[in-house]
Chain A
Amino acid sequence: GESVGLHLPTLSVQEGDNSIINCAYSNSASDYFIWYKQESGKGPQFIIDIRSNMDKRQGQRVTVLLNKTVKHLSLQIAATQPGDSAVYFCAENLSTYGNNRLAFGKGNQVVVIP
């Protein structure tokens, strides 16, 4: 399949270690944020979301942190596995465009080393 990861920032991580992927968002009025995972040749898959009234949200092996002061979002993956190798996108809801539109970052490639 096509490589959506071409020219993207790449994080190489040893299997079993924790991964941290960072994202800066643009609009201080954004009130909803999502992380997506995209494997080669597939569509983006929802991982976890967070609303602006929260600083932290945990899922299964994943944690999203939101720092509204510096407009920063991060995704932490615990005990990274080979199946976590993918491109990860953050997305913000741009309230100025209306409730349903998301703006996506360019993505970060994660490569898990067995």
Chain B
Amino acid sequence: NAGVTQTPKFQVLKTGQSMTLQCAQDMNHNSMYWYRQDPGMGLRLIYYSASEGTTDKGEVPNGYNVSRLNKREFSLRLESAAPSQTSVYFCASSEALNEQFFGPGTRLTVL
């Protein structure tokens, strides 16, 4: 099992460009999550999907959109990137009230 995978690992964007971060899990989990992590801070939830076909806003959803493509995949889209979105992005998955499993992260820089 690969667990949670994320692509790309690194990305540099110019302000105003768009991109999609991909996430996939092979653990058959119902719930998936997108977080951002900034230096000196914990993980902040952007969006989550409790089950296939549903998505909900987290703590910091502005400037992002998500798609739960199927049970395995949950993508995060930046329509018009801003320097404030420079961060490390983590995808996670879980089954009900259990621990979340995290991917390796995508390091995004917006110039």
Find out whether the CB atom of B99 lies under 8 angstroms from the CB atom of A89: no
Stretch of A11-19, A40-48, A53-61, A64-72 that contacts chain B: A40-48
Give the residues in chain B near A3, CB-CB below 8 Å: 39
Q: Which of A74-114 contact B (CB under 8 A)?
A: 89, 93, 98-102, 104-107
Q: How far apart are the CA atoms of A91 and B99 in the complex, in Å?
A: 10
Say how far A63's CB is from chain B's closest CB, in angstroms.
17
Question: Hey, what's the 0/1 contact readout for B73-111 against A, CB within 8 Å counting as 1?
Answer: 000000000000000101000101111111111010000
Q: Does A29 contact B (CB under 8 A)?
A: no
Q: How far apart are the CA atoms of A13 and B44 in the complex, in Å?
A: 28
Say how far B51's CB is from chain A's closest CB, in angstroms.
9
Q: How far apart are the CA atoms of A4 and B89 in the complex, in Å?
A: 12
Q: Does B41 contact A (CB under 8 A)?
A: yes
Which secondary structure dominates chain A's binding surface? loop
**Which of A4, A36, A105 sits near B39, CB closer than 8 Å?**
A4
* Known A44-B90, A46-B101; contact A100-B40, beta-carbon cutoff 8 A: no
Say how far B59's CB is from chain A's closest CB, in angstroms.
8
Find out whether the CB atom of A100 lies under 8 angstroms from the CB atom of B94: yes
Q: Does A8 contact B (CB under 8 A)?
A: yes
Find out whether the CB atom of B31 lies under 8 angstroms from the CB atom of A100: yes
**Which of B39, B43, B50 sits near A100, CB closer than 8 Å?**
B50
Q: How far apart are the CA atoms of A49 and B94 in the complex, in Å?
A: 14
Chain B residues engaging chain A, CB cutoff 8 angstroms? 4, 31, 33, 37, 39-45, 48, 50, 58, 88, 90, 94, 96-105, 107
Chain A residues engaging chain B, CB cutoff 8 angstroms? 1-8, 32, 34, 36, 42-46, 49, 89, 93, 98-102, 104-107
Q: Which 8 A-B pairs have the closest CB atoms?
A: A43-B102, A7-B40, A104-B42, A6-B39, A104-B43, A46-B99, A6-B40, A100-B31
